[in-house]
Chain A
Amino acid sequence: QKEVEQDPGPLSVPEGAIVSLNCTYSNSAFQYFMWYRQYSRKGPELLMYTYSSGNKEDGRFTAQVDKSSKYISLFIRDSQPSDSATYLCAMRRIKAAGNKLTFGGGTRVLVKP
Protein backbone atom coordinates (compact mmCIF):
# COMPACT_ATOMS: atom_id res chain seq x y z
CA GLN A 1 0.00 0.00 0.00
CA LYS A 2 1.32 3.45 -0.92
CA GLU A 3 1.95 5.99 1.82
CA VAL A 4 -0.01 8.64 -0.11
CA GLU A 5 -3.05 7.78 -2.22
CA GLN A 6 -4.56 10.02 -4.86
CA ASP A 7 -7.28 9.27 -7.39
CA PRO A 8 -5.68 9.48 -10.86
CA GLY A 9 -8.83 10.84 -12.53
CA PRO A 10 -9.37 12.27 -15.02
CA LEU A 11 -11.68 14.72 -13.30
CA SER A 12 -13.70 16.64 -15.87
CA VAL A 13 -15.62 19.78 -14.87
CA PRO A 14 -17.29 22.65 -16.76
CA GLU A 15 -15.69 26.07 -16.67
CA GLY A 16 -16.69 28.01 -13.56
CA ALA A 17 -17.29 24.91 -11.42
CA ILE A 18 -15.48 24.10 -8.21
CA VAL A 19 -12.73 21.51 -8.54
CA SER A 20 -12.33 19.28 -5.50
CA LEU A 21 -9.18 17.21 -5.10
CA ASN A 22 -8.00 15.09 -2.22
CA CYS A 23 -5.29 12.78 -0.92
CA THR A 24 -5.24 10.26 1.89
CA TYR A 25 -2.13 9.17 3.71
CA SER A 26 -1.10 6.55 6.20
CA ASN A 27 1.91 8.05 8.01
CA SER A 28 0.76 10.14 10.96
CA ALA A 29 4.23 11.72 11.17
CA PHE A 30 3.57 13.91 8.13
CA GLN A 31 3.31 17.53 9.21
CA TYR A 32 3.93 19.58 6.06
CA PHE A 33 1.47 19.33 3.18
CA MET A 34 1.81 20.73 -0.31
CA TRP A 35 -0.05 20.88 -3.59
CA TYR A 36 1.78 21.12 -6.89
CA ARG A 37 0.37 21.78 -10.36
CA GLN A 38 2.00 20.10 -13.33
CA TYR A 39 1.17 20.92 -16.93
CA SER A 40 1.80 18.25 -19.52
CA ARG A 41 5.53 17.59 -20.09
CA LYS A 42 6.54 20.33 -17.63
CA GLY A 43 7.99 20.41 -14.14
CA PRO A 44 5.64 20.75 -11.14
CA GLU A 45 5.08 24.18 -9.59
CA LEU A 46 4.14 24.76 -5.97
CA LEU A 47 0.58 26.01 -5.46
CA MET A 48 -0.11 25.71 -1.76
CA TYR A 49 1.78 24.82 1.38
CA THR A 50 0.21 24.07 4.79
CA TYR A 51 1.75 23.16 8.09
CA SER A 52 -0.19 20.77 10.34
CA SER A 53 -4.01 21.03 10.35
CA GLY A 54 -6.35 23.75 9.19
CA ASN A 55 -7.27 25.73 6.13
CA LYS A 56 -5.31 28.05 3.91
CA GLU A 57 -6.68 30.25 1.16
CA ASP A 58 -4.85 31.91 -1.71
CA GLY A 59 -6.98 33.54 -4.38
CA ARG A 60 -9.13 30.85 -6.00
CA PHE A 61 -7.32 28.05 -4.16
CA THR A 62 -8.14 26.63 -0.72
CA ALA A 63 -6.15 23.88 0.95
CA GLN A 64 -7.49 21.90 3.88
CA VAL A 65 -5.74 19.43 6.16
CA ASP A 66 -7.57 17.02 8.48
CA LYS A 67 -4.86 15.17 10.36
CA SER A 68 -7.33 13.16 12.45
CA SER A 69 -8.64 11.59 9.23
CA LYS A 70 -5.27 11.67 7.43
CA TYR A 71 -6.94 13.52 4.59
CA ILE A 72 -6.00 16.66 2.68
CA SER A 73 -7.99 18.59 0.08
CA LEU A 74 -7.53 21.27 -2.53
CA PHE A 75 -10.44 23.30 -3.86
CA ILE A 76 -10.27 25.46 -6.97
CA ARG A 77 -13.09 27.99 -7.28
CA ASP A 78 -14.29 29.49 -10.56
CA SER A 79 -12.24 26.99 -12.53
CA GLN A 80 -10.74 28.04 -15.86
CA PRO A 81 -9.54 25.99 -18.84
CA SER A 82 -6.02 27.07 -17.86
CA ASP A 83 -6.47 25.04 -14.64
CA SER A 84 -6.41 21.87 -16.75
CA ALA A 85 -3.34 20.05 -15.44
CA THR A 86 -2.25 17.26 -13.14
CA TYR A 87 -2.34 18.12 -9.44
CA LEU A 88 0.11 16.38 -7.13
CA CYS A 89 -0.10 16.31 -3.38
CA ALA A 90 3.12 16.00 -1.38
CA MET A 91 3.96 15.78 2.29
CA ARG A 92 6.87 15.35 4.63
CA ARG A 93 7.84 14.71 8.24
CA ILE A 94 9.34 17.45 10.40
CA LYS A 95 12.84 15.95 10.44
CA ALA A 96 12.79 14.00 7.21
CA ALA A 97 16.25 13.08 5.96
CA GLY A 98 17.16 15.52 3.23
CA ASN A 99 13.76 17.18 3.68
CA LYS A 100 12.39 14.35 1.58
CA LEU A 101 8.91 14.75 0.12
CA THR A 102 6.47 11.87 -0.45
CA PHE A 103 4.21 12.44 -3.45
CA GLY A 104 0.82 11.14 -4.44
CA GLY A 105 0.39 9.82 -7.96
CA GLY A 106 -1.43 12.93 -9.17
CA THR A 107 -4.98 13.69 -10.33
CA ARG A 108 -5.52 14.83 -13.89
CA VAL A 109 -8.05 17.66 -14.15
CA LEU A 110 -9.80 18.82 -17.31
CA VAL A 111 -11.79 22.06 -17.25
CA LYS A 112 -14.05 22.28 -20.30
CA PRO A 113 -15.00 25.69 -21.75
Chain B
Amino acid sequence: DGGITQSPKYLFRKEGQNVTLSCEQNLNHDAMYWYRQDPGQGLRLIYYSQIVNDFQKGDIAEGYSVSREKKESFPLTVTSAQKNPTAFYLCASSDRNRGAETQYFGPGTRLLVL
Protein backbone atom coordinates (compact mmCIF):
# COMPACT_ATOMS: atom_id res chain seq x y z
CA ASP B 1 0.00 0.00 0.00
CA GLY B 2 1.25 3.47 -0.87
CA GLY B 3 1.26 6.13 1.77
CA ILE B 4 3.07 8.24 4.32
CA THR B 5 4.32 6.91 7.62
CA GLN B 6 5.39 8.96 10.61
CA SER B 7 7.12 7.76 13.72
CA PRO B 8 6.91 7.73 16.60
CA LYS B 9 3.24 8.32 17.31
CA TYR B 10 4.10 10.01 20.60
CA LEU B 11 7.40 11.64 21.55
CA PHE B 12 8.53 13.13 24.81
CA ARG B 13 11.23 15.77 24.97
CA LYS B 14 13.24 16.89 27.94
CA GLU B 15 14.45 20.45 28.40
CA GLY B 16 17.48 21.20 26.22
CA GLN B 17 17.08 18.05 24.16
CA ASN B 18 16.94 17.76 20.38
CA VAL B 19 14.46 15.22 19.01
CA THR B 20 13.91 13.94 15.48
CA LEU B 21 10.58 13.04 13.91
CA SER B 22 10.58 10.57 11.05
CA CYS B 23 8.57 10.87 7.83
CA GLU B 24 8.72 8.34 5.00
CA GLN B 25 6.64 8.14 1.83
CA ASN B 26 6.43 5.51 -0.93
CA LEU B 27 4.23 7.54 -3.26
CA ASN B 28 7.17 8.63 -5.41
CA HIS B 29 6.32 12.26 -4.68
CA ASP B 30 8.90 14.96 -5.20
CA ALA B 31 7.53 17.48 -2.70
CA MET B 32 7.33 16.97 1.05
CA TYR B 33 6.12 19.26 3.83
CA TRP B 34 6.17 19.58 7.60
CA TYR B 35 3.31 21.27 9.44
CA ARG B 36 2.65 22.06 13.04
CA GLN B 37 -0.93 21.95 14.36
CA ASP B 38 -1.99 23.71 17.55
CA PRO B 39 -5.58 23.81 18.80
CA GLY B 40 -7.67 26.36 16.93
CA GLN B 41 -4.79 27.51 14.73
CA GLY B 42 -5.00 25.15 11.80
CA LEU B 43 -1.82 23.92 10.17
CA ARG B 44 1.27 26.10 9.92
CA LEU B 45 4.09 25.31 7.54
CA ILE B 46 7.50 24.67 9.11
CA TYR B 47 9.64 23.52 6.17
CA TYR B 48 9.11 22.17 2.70
CA SER B 49 11.22 20.42 0.09
CA GLN B 50 10.44 20.19 -3.60
CA ILE B 51 13.40 18.05 -4.57
CA VAL B 52 16.15 15.95 -3.00
CA ASN B 53 18.93 17.94 -1.33
CA ASP B 54 16.88 21.13 -1.35
CA PHE B 55 14.49 22.57 1.23
CA GLN B 56 13.00 25.92 2.15
CA LYS B 57 11.79 27.58 5.34
CA GLY B 58 8.08 27.91 5.86
CA ASP B 59 6.28 30.35 8.13
CA ILE B 60 7.55 29.06 11.47
CA ALA B 61 10.98 27.52 10.82
CA GLU B 62 12.77 28.93 13.88
CA GLY B 63 13.88 26.16 16.24
CA TYR B 64 13.50 23.43 13.62
CA SER B 65 15.80 21.81 11.07
CA VAL B 66 15.29 19.30 8.26
CA SER B 67 17.23 17.25 5.72
CA ARG B 68 16.27 15.68 2.41
CA GLU B 69 18.95 13.17 1.50
CA LYS B 70 16.52 10.71 -0.08
CA LYS B 71 13.33 11.24 -2.05
CA GLU B 72 11.38 9.01 0.34
CA SER B 73 12.50 10.60 3.59
CA PHE B 74 12.13 14.06 5.16
CA PRO B 75 13.03 13.99 8.88
CA LEU B 76 12.32 16.97 11.13
CA THR B 77 14.51 17.85 14.11
CA VAL B 78 13.02 19.91 16.89
CA THR B 79 15.96 21.65 18.51
CA SER B 80 16.36 23.03 22.02
CA ALA B 81 15.91 26.50 20.50
CA GLN B 82 12.20 25.75 19.98
CA LYS B 83 10.80 26.98 23.27
CA ASN B 84 7.24 25.80 22.80
CA PRO B 85 7.46 22.48 20.95
CA THR B 86 4.31 20.83 22.32
CA ALA B 87 2.09 20.28 19.28
CA PHE B 88 0.84 17.77 16.72
CA TYR B 89 3.30 17.48 13.82
CA LEU B 90 2.11 16.44 10.38
CA CYS B 91 4.14 15.44 7.38
CA ALA B 92 2.68 15.64 3.87
CA SER B 93 3.75 14.96 0.32
CA SER B 94 2.50 15.86 -3.12
CA ASP B 95 3.25 15.31 -6.76
CA ARG B 96 4.98 18.58 -7.55
CA ASN B 97 3.49 18.70 -11.02
CA ARG B 98 -0.05 18.49 -9.72
CA GLY B 99 0.31 21.09 -7.00
CA ALA B 100 -0.34 21.21 -3.29
CA GLU B 101 -4.10 20.70 -3.64
CA THR B 102 -3.42 16.99 -3.64
CA GLN B 103 -1.26 16.86 -0.55
CA TYR B 104 -1.39 13.55 1.27
CA PHE B 105 -0.85 13.59 5.02
CA GLY B 106 0.70 11.12 7.39
CA PRO B 107 -0.91 10.08 10.70
CA GLY B 108 1.08 12.64 12.72
CA THR B 109 3.40 12.69 15.73
CA ARG B 110 2.35 14.23 19.01
CA LEU B 111 5.27 15.88 20.80
CA LEU B 112 5.09 16.57 24.50
CA VAL B 113 7.59 18.27 26.78
CA LEU B 114 8.48 16.62 30.08
Contact = CB atoms under 8 A, between A and B. Distances in A.
Given A41-B110, A106-B42, A100 B105 contact: no
A98 B50 contact: yes
B111 interface: no
Interface residues of B, number: 29
B40 A98 contact: no
A4 B105 CA distance: 20
Contacts of B44: 103
Q: Main SS of the interface on chain B?
A: strand
Interface footprint category on A: 20 to 34
B94 interface: yes
Contacts of B26: none
A99 interface: yes
Interface of A: 4, 6, 8, 32, 34, 41-46, 49, 88, 90, 92, 96-101, 103-106
